[in-house]
Amino acid sequence: MRPVLTCALLVAAFVVAPAGAATPDLTHWFFNATALYRTNATATQTNKPDYLGGSTQSAMHCGAAGKNIAGVWELLKYDRRHNVGLAVASTDQCSAAIFKAPPPNVSVPDADLSGYRTGRGVRLGMSYSGVRAIYGGPPQHGKHFVATYATDLTGTTISLPHRTVKLPQTITLVFDDGRVSSIAVEIEEGGLF
């Protein structure tokens, strides 16, 4: 009789618990704020790479664990005072995004992200003219638009024989009312393998 009771309790735990513990879907919340994968804009070539959070790729927190957003993207922190999220992605890439968005319906660490910027000084709230002074590019106008920038980084393959490869970097910026509302820096690392 005891094995039957134990088995019944286990089945109930697996059947009942997931329904109450469903993870909220943050896909629209994230992609609406960052405009990632939703733009057909031609990227402006930049003269050197840039990194979110500092002047090197290690500042981007790639591989850090957070709350799943969509695919390989994870939400690391959310600044409740300034309504700003920080997300990262890995798996054949090193990518990070900081973006203005309403509070997510998940629990993540609270952090002051108001001073977050790229190594070259691009930050949320920066004017489009300030971004153009750093990255260049043709003038764009509108209440809401997306600008993309591209360059290549140099890497060395993990496999033998080691060889030098180019790793594409794309920077996607969302502008609302002439100010940066999202910065996403993506580095494709598939060429390392």
Tell me if 1 is assigned to some domain.
Answer: no
Residue 186 is predicted with a pLDDT of 95
Tell me if 38 is assigned to some domain.
Answer: yes
Tell me if 14 is assigned to some domain.
Answer: no
Residue 93's contacts (CB-CB under 8 Å, 6 or more residues apart) are 62, 72, 186, 187, 188, 189, 190
**CA neighbours within 13 Å on the CB side: how many for 65?**
0
Closest CA to 182 of 136, 127, 123: 123
pLDDT at 11 over 70: no
Tell me if 3 is assigned to some domain.
Answer: no
pLDDT at 6 over 60: no
Residue 14 is predicted with a pLDDT of 36
Residue 21 is predicted with a pLDDT of 52
Q: How far apart are CA 37 and CA 172, in angstroms?
A: 10
Tell me the whole-structure pTM to 2 decimals: 0.85
Residue type, 8: A
Tell me if 169 is assigned to some domain.
Answer: yes
Residue 71 is predicted with a pLDDT of 82
Q: Which domain holds residue 186?
A: 24-192
Tell me if 58 is assigned to some domain.
Answer: yes
Reading phi first (left if > 0) and then psi (alpha if -120 to 50, else beta), residue 71 is in left
Taking residues 75-86, report their average pLDDT.
97
Total domain count, the chain: 1
How many of the other CB atoms lie within 10 Å of CB of 28?
9
The pair of structure tokens assigned to 158 is 């993990």
Tell me if 12 is assigned to some domain.
Answer: no
115-156 pLDDT, tens digit per residue, is 999 999 999 999 999 999 999 998 888 999 999 999 999 989
Residue 103 is predicted with a pLDDT of 96
Tell me if 13 is assigned to some domain.
Answer: no
